[in-house]
Chains A and B, each alone.
Chain A
Amino acid sequence: MADESKAPQSPESSQPEVTGSSPAQSAAGASPSSPAKTAAPAPLQVPLNNELSGRYRERFGAVILDAIEDRKQSILIVDAAQLLEIACYSRDEEKFDLLEDYTAVDWPRREKRFDLVAQLYSFTHNTRLRLKIPLGFDEQPDTIVPIWPAANWLEREIFDLFGIAFRGHPNLKRILLPDEWQGHPLRKDYDILQQDTAWVRENLGIESGQ
């Protein structure tokens, strides 16, 4: 599965029960690391120091918070302040013309709670790049719809399910859930069970048996 960089494929690690052991801690995970049971396998997350990350660092400096390679997929962690510029640069200079995906992840115990994740693809170079943008709770990032119109519904979905409002979005309203829905389900503190019991209590007048 030739994916990104040209490094040789990591050996087939047949680890029956591998617990989380990542020698390189990135800002992406706050999970506890347990001691490895077997001999330490090749690290899956390594710092990224290739030309691509070099160019970004050169252009944007400290705004690029970190550059990682996880399972041979390039990830850049960038600050939300210059999101539009980075997006513009990615599309125009680095030729990442396809916004493949745009989503968010919720890390409730982290200080910057959300992670916006943009998956980019370049037709000319046939490479992928992932941009992760940490966001605080009420922070409103800029919309990247002017750069990639594909982000229109994707940002609406993020708003719908996470509650992240995008500044400048042409039509920011809920897309998958009904307009009058309360809450943002994909947040970790949104309990499905609580939603079910509330509905049953309100509409059927009984206690849910779940």
Chain B
Amino acid sequence: MSGLQVNLAGMLSLIQDLGRFGVAHQGLSSGGPADLHAHCWANKLLENSSNASVLEITMGNASFTALEDMLLSLTGAETAATIDGERLATWRSFVLHKGQTLKLGYAQSGFRTYLAVAGGFDTPQIFGSSATVVRNKLGGLADSQGSPIAKGDIIPVNNLAAKSVTTKSTSQWTPRYFIPKYSDEISLAVIESYQATQFDVEAKQSFYSKPYQISDKSDRMGIRLQGNSVQSGINGVISEGITYGSIQFPPNGQPIILLNDRQTLGGYPKIGCVSRMSLMKLAQARPGSLIHFYRGDIEFETRAYCQFIEFFSL
């Protein structure tokens, strides 16, 4: 088989496309890239559709060898990537020749790196998507049943990728303006909704007044935070649909921001949602980072997100 051979898989490397939709009513999670911004740029640099399958690499420390010439791109967390020991510029497309090894160090800033190939990785679709959701045992490489990428795997590449090396030899890069500076202290816009109006006023104030720290128990299901305990005063919520970015408070009062692999229904009180643009920032914040919340404006946030999806034809 031809493709990209995995020498070192890192902490968590997952095949992702935009996600699996129209299945939440059956209890399945959508999956999809935690950082939509870096995912979309990785594909755009190769003139791929935004839905092409890419590899989401958490915390770096991964290495791959090309089994044929291929055109790749690397965006997201900065990992001091090299090709056969030579430093590689990121947020660009580049050629990895047959036999060459691409190596990512530990992430130095940011948390998740996106590796894309021209034409997309050739992974099977289940319900219209290759997105890996480990807890649903779905997506990823053929017959992997939703497992993360492992050492020794060969990630198949569409033949198109090899052709692209000759036809698109000039490098594409992301304009500097669009490359975020990842930080370990960030502010997130909250769109108040769900039970927000029923929260105790003091509880709400305490939520906004001090930063929270990202716990190392966080994963793609939810970002767990540590800080001021928020006792909403709400006595039980009948299980309801949970949307992307919902902020829920279990009895211990420590907020959880629900991400791509979230459960579809839940009965904890929710103060609202982190805005879509803010979620892209959050995806690059590592455990230990500080999170400030501020009350966002739904109209402003919607306009920003609409511009984003228009730009990437989502």
Are A and B genuine complex partners? no
Q: B-contacting residues of A (Cβ < 8 Å)?
A: none
Q: A-contacting residues of B (Cβ < 8 Å)?
A: none
